């Protein structure tokens, strides 16, 4: 089952790449750097005295995900229990060590910053950050599903210490501060582990000083198909200050808000943009629909229901909790509901697979919109947005981009609204007001009209 889903998704990636791009970076990304599986056991990095995080990290950050594996990770969605142990002992000097007082009256001086993101085949968007003094540059995924930031460490397996790959070297940074604690993060498909360090992290000219982040020394192969070097965590956390929290605390941002505009591959859409400190009206039209965040440690909110634009197919089971996840490519929902939805769309499950549904390409244009009802407002996606079309040679194959996952009701089922949703809806994450806002993202047509 897993194999089929994974194969098809891999195929998706490969065929999209092959169809559209010469010199697609897929092969160069095949480098074994991310494949600890290839390293003989005796050469594998040691497992230092890692004190693992209380809870493992959150969502997968890549699409080739086995949704059936998700239940073991679902604790993320539960209301957090009081931590038994505090694995992090945030140094007292954290955020203050440089004797710099935050500017409380920051609305006067700070401005929001745009960070241009690169669209990697519609399955990942990465953007530049730098760490340390002098700056060491990385391209990272900005992940709303986890607070953890990490980059590969120069102290990791031998392959990493190779000029071809981006690694962080604490030795050459004058602002590095040892931390001494370990970290571990799981992403559906794989795992990274290493130790925590502190250094300045710079994004678009804004510096989160003395930021704690992970130096990864062990990784599984989750990044093998990407040009991505690491992850910058924008998840909600009540325990662990993120880079964003750090910037807010220092008064570097005009508001405790960040927003994403994700473009569509091979369109005339403007470049994708993450805005730190507000929203950028150049990238959306109309008003925002807001939903309050429903748990303290996840960008989770309540959807009223899901329906088709022709009036049928209403799903409101389990209260429709949903998360907006900038690191999941498609939309994932509880298996039973997704099964009903996809069958009504005329979908047939891939043989032996209850998570992916094939659609008849000749019929997808006629399919109704899928409407997510949030705070009484319709957020709709047309079949163009929710169907995944692949070209294999001269054939086209169509799949529903709404995948099922076998979460159980008592495992806090949620819908994951990933990149395909965020391409249609410009999304603001408003930490100050603990709410998420959606507005219609501009498309090329809008961009033209505004000129
Ligand atoms: C990050 O990605 C951009 C766009 O693909 C590329 O131009 C840049 O060189 C990359 N930066 C690093 C540090 O690899
Ligand atoms: C990385 O490799 C260089 C030379 O190839 C060596 O001088 C350096 O000590 C190595 N760094 C680590 C952390 O192993
Ligand atoms: C860099 O990190 C490693 C591993 O934690 C540590 O052994 C080393 O002392 C650090 N380097 C410096 C210059 O502190
Ligand atoms: C509405 O659309 C769904 C999905 O295509 C279909 O199954 C259903 O029959 C349609 N209902 C009506 C009343 O047209």
Single out the residue of 121, 142, 211, 127 nearest to residue 173, CA to CA. Answer: 211
pLDDT tens sequence across 400-415: 999 988 765 555 568 8
Number of domains the chain contains: 3
Q: Of 212 and 2, which is predicted with more confidence?
A: 212
Single out the residue of 31, 243, 228, 254 nearest to residue 131, CA to CA. Answer: 243
Residues 112 and 215 in one domain: yes
Q: Ligand 2 within 6 A of 264 CB?
A: no
Please name the helix (run of DSSP H) or strand (run of DSSP E) that holds residue 440, with its range, or none. strand 435-441
Joined together, the tokens standing for residue 179 give 């931390």
pLDDT tens sequence across 361-412: 999 999 999 999 999 999 999 999 999 988 888 888 999 999 988 765 555 5
- Which ligand places an atom closest to the C-alpha of 160? 2
How confident is the model at residue 449, as a pLDDT?
A: 59
Residues 107 and 222 in one domain: yes
CATH number of the CATH domain containing 135:
2.40.70.10
Residues 235 and 330 in one domain: no
Q: Is 272 contained in some domain? A: no
Q: Is 103 contained in some domain? A: yes
Single out the residue of 231, 217, 58 nearest to residue 139, CA to CA. Answer: 231
Strands ordered across the beta sheet of 377-381:
305-308, 370-374, 377-381
How confident is the model at residue 275, as a pLDDT?
A: 96
Q: What are phi and psi of 39, to 5 degrees?
A: -90, 125
Residues 218 and 291 in one domain: no
Ligand 2: residue whose CA is nearest its atom 2? 161
Q: Which band of pLDDT confidence, cut at 50, 70 and 90, is reported for residue 159?
A: low
- Would you call 241 helix, strand, or coil by DSSP? coil
How confident is the model at residue 60, as a pLDDT?
A: 33
Pocket of ligand 1 (CB under 6 A): 118, 128, 137-139, 166
- Which ligand places an atom closest to the C-alpha of 368? 4
Check: CB of residue 182 under 8 Å from CB of residue 122.
no
Q: Is the pLDDT of residue 36 over 80?
A: no
Q: Which band of pLDDT confidence, cut at 50, 70 and 90, is reported for residue 193?
A: confident
Give the Cα separation of 207 and 355 in Å (integer): 42
Q: Is 202 contained in some domain? A: yes
Residues 189 and 314 in one domain: no
Q: Which band of pLDDT confidence, cut at 50, 70 and 90, is reported for residue 246?
A: very high
**Domain region containing 387:** 279-449
Q: Which atom of ligand 3 is nearest to the CA of 195?
A: 5
Q: Is 386 contained in some domain? A: yes
Joined together, the tokens standing for residue 411 give 């495992």
Residues 320 and 420 in one domain: yes
How confident is the model at residue 448, as a pLDDT?
A: 62
């Amino acid at each position: 089952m897993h194999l089929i889903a994974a194969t098809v998704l891999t195929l998706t990636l490969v065929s999209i790449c092959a169809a559209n791009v010469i010199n697609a970076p897929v092969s160069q990304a095949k480098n074994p750097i991310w494949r600890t599986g290839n390293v003989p056991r005796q050469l594998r990095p040691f497992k230092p005295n890692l004190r693992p995080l209380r809870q493992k990290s959150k969502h997968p950050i890549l699409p080739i995900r086995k949704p059936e594996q998700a239940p073991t990770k679902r604790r993320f969605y539960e209301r957090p229990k009081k931590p038994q142990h505090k694995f992090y002992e945030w140094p007292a000097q954290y955020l203050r060590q440089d004797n710099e007082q935050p500017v409380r009256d920051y609305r006067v001086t700070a401005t929001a910053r745009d960070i241009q993101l690169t669209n990697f085949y519609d399955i990942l968007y990465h953007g530049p950050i730098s760490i340390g003094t002098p700056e060491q540059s990385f391209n990272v995924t900005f992940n709303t599903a986890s607070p953890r930031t990490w980059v590969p460490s120069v102290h990791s397996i031998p392959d990493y210490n190779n000029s071809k790959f981006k690694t962080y070297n604490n030795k050459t940074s004058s602002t590095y501060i040892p931390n001494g604690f370990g970290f571990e993060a799981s992403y559906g498909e794989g795992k990274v582990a290493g130790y925590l360090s502190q250094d300045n992290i710079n994004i678009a000219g804004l510096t989160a000083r003395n930021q704690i982040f992970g130096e990864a020394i062990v990784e599984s192969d989750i990044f093998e198909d990407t040009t991505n070097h690491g992850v910058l965590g924008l998840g909600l956390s009540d325990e662990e200050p993120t880079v964003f929290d750090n910037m807010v605390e220092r008064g570097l941002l005009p508001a405790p808000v960040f927003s994403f505009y994700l473009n569509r591959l091979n369109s005339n859409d403007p470049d994708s943009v993450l805005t730190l400190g507000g929203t950028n009206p150049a990238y959306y039209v109309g008003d925002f629909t807001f939903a309050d965040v429903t748990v303290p440690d996840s960008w989770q909110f309540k959807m009223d229901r899901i329906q088709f634009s022709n009036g049928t197919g209403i799903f409101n089971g389990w209260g429709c909790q949903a998360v907006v996840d900038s690191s999941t490519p498609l939309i994932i929902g509880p298996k039973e509901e997704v099964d009903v939805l996809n069958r009504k769309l005329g979908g047939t499950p891939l043989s032996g697979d209850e998570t992916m549904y094939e659609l008849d390409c000749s019929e997808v244009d006629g399919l109704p919109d899928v409407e997510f009802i949030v705070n009484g407002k319709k957020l709709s996606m047309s079949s163009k947005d929710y169907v995944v079309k692949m070209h294999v040679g001269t054939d086209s194959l169509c799949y529903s981009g709404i995948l099922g996952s076998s979460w159980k009701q008592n495992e806090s089922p949620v819908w994951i609204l990933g990149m395909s949703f965020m391409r249609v809806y410009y999304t603001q994450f408003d930490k100050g007001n603990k709410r998420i806002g959606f507005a219609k993202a501009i498309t090329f047509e809008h961009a033209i009209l505004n000129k």
